[in-house]
Amino acid sequence: MTPEQAYEELLRRMKELSLLGNTAGVLGWDQEVYMPSANAPFRAEQLSLLAGMCHQRFTDPVVGDLIAKVEGSSLAKDPLSNAAVNVREWRRSYDRSKKLPQKLVEEMSRVSSNAQVEWVDARKENKFSRFQPWLEKIVGLVKEQAECYGYKDHPYDALLEDYEPGLTCAQLDKLFPPLKERLSTLVKKIGSAPRKPDTSILKRKCPIPEQQDFCGKMVEAIGFDFGKGRIDVSAHPFTTGLGPADTRITTRFEETNFENSFFSTLHEGGHGIYDQNLPSTLELYGTPRAGAVSLGIHESQSRLWENLVGRSHGFWVHFFPELKRAFPGVFDDLSLETFHFAVNHSAPSFIRTESDEVTYNLHVALRYDLETALLTGKVKVADVPQAWNEAMKKNLGVVPPTDTLGCLQDVHWSHGSFGYFPTYTLGNLYSAQFFQAAEKEVGPLEGKFEKGEFTPLKKWLNERIHAHGQTYRANDLCKKVTGQDLSSEPFLGYLERKFGGLYGF
Closest CA to 413 of 41, 96, 49, 123: 123
The active-site residue out of 106, 118, 268, 371 is 268
- Between CA 219 and CA 231 the distance in angstroms is 10
- Separation CA 69–CA 6 (nearest Å): 7
**What gap in Å lies between CA 167 and CA 165, rounded to an integer?**
6
φ and ψ at 21, to 5 degrees? Answer: -65, -40
Distances (CA, A) of 424 to 92, 297, 428, 440, 495: 23, 9, 6, 25, 16
Distances (CA, A) of 376 to 3, 58, 146, 372, 379: 44, 30, 11, 6, 8
Distance CA 85, CA 469 (A): 9
- Among 235, 149, 109, CA closest to 419: 149
Q: End-to-end CA distance of the chain, in Å?
A: 69
Beta-carbon contacts of 436 under 8 Å, excluding residues fewer than 6 positions away, are 482, 490, 494
Nearest to 346 by CA among 179, 501, 177: 501
d(CA 62, CA 65): 5
**CA distance linking residue 123 with residue 102, whole number of Å:** 31
Q: Indicate the pairing of strand 239-243 with strand 229-233.
A: unpaired
Residue 389, judged by CB atoms within 10 A of its CB (0-12, 13-18, 19+), counts as: middle
Instruction: Provide the angle, in degrees to the nearest 10, between the axes of the packed helices 360-376 and 169-191.
Output: 140
Residue 268 annotated as catalytic = yes
Distances (CA, A) of 154 to 161, 171, 420: 12, 12, 16
**What is the Cα–Cα distance from 296 to 61, expressed in whole angstroms?**
31
Which residues are catalytic, by number?
Answer: 268
